[in-house]
Amino acid sequence: MNIERTAEQAARHEEYERWLRSSTPSALAFRWFMGPGQWAANTALFRLAEGLKLDHTTRLLDIGSGRGGILRALDDQLQMDTPPVGLDFSRAMIDLARSDETNPARDARYVEASAIALPFRDSTFNLVTCGYVVKHLDDDGVRAMFYEIGRVLQPGGLAVIWEFGPTGNTRLDAWNAKVVSRGVAQPRLRSSKTLRQLATDVGFPFTRYADLRPFLLPPIPRASIIVGRPPEGFDLSKL
């Protein structure tokens, strides 16, 4: 699969980086949203440790890690044997994540890289989380990302992917796209069904709806799926 970075992707990255480092109201709000605002936006995700029966052996990669809120919350709960890894294509976000670290002894790693070309060896992680990334990508880009997630997942590993989703109402979806489009050229809002199909396209043997609750802030539907190769007898019904 061709996962080279295109000129269009590079241009989108530069545009996003300039906006994110700016002092515009939308950039300031987004930086808050990816920091303290995570608790309002991603409450359900902070219960992943219980829902997926995770423990200290978890080897976590958080794609689109932003300021590292979810990564740190999971590590605080689990005290992972292996420091978690946060990946973001924005240098500004990586810098914020490192400045937010309150426990340097945990030595979380933050990597600036693209979700469609993960700089890790095969079978490195048993849990991958990925939020707010797929709206930046066309369908081929999402397939490339899923291919890369499958490559770095260990046997028995799982990935949880979520994003702003469509409502099915054309006018409301157009409005919601404007709400989430600050710094994002032409965001693509896909349903959980569409995300499952794209994951199936690249050969994931297991996909299901994660059924994460809608966003509270902003009040937009959440598309969410789980993909991977769960261990035999693993029960995901209580997530």
Position with higher pLDDT, 98 vs 229: 98
For residue 191, is pLDDT > 90?
Answer: yes
Give 216's pLDDT tier (boundaries 50, 70, 90).
Answer: low
Q: Give the least confident one: 29-43, 90-104, 145-159, 199-213.
A: 29-43
Per-residue pLDDT, 239: 47
Prediction pTM value: 0.79
**Which CATH class name applies to 7-228?**
alpha beta
Per-residue pLDDT, 168: 83
Per-residue pLDDT, 1: 47
CA dihedral of residues 138, 139, 143, 149 (deg, nearest 10): 50
Per-residue pLDDT, 2: 42
Quote the CA–CA distance of 64 and 7 in Å, as a whole number: 20
Per-residue pLDDT, 71: 87
Per-residue pLDDT, 3: 44
Per-residue pLDDT, 69: 84
Instruction: Find where tokens 């950039």 sit.
Output: 27
For residue 27, is pLDDT > 80?
Answer: no
Quote the CA–CA distance of 60 and 78 in Å, as a whole number: 11
**Domain extents for the chain?**
7-228
Q: What is the mean pLDDT of residues 144-155?
A: 96
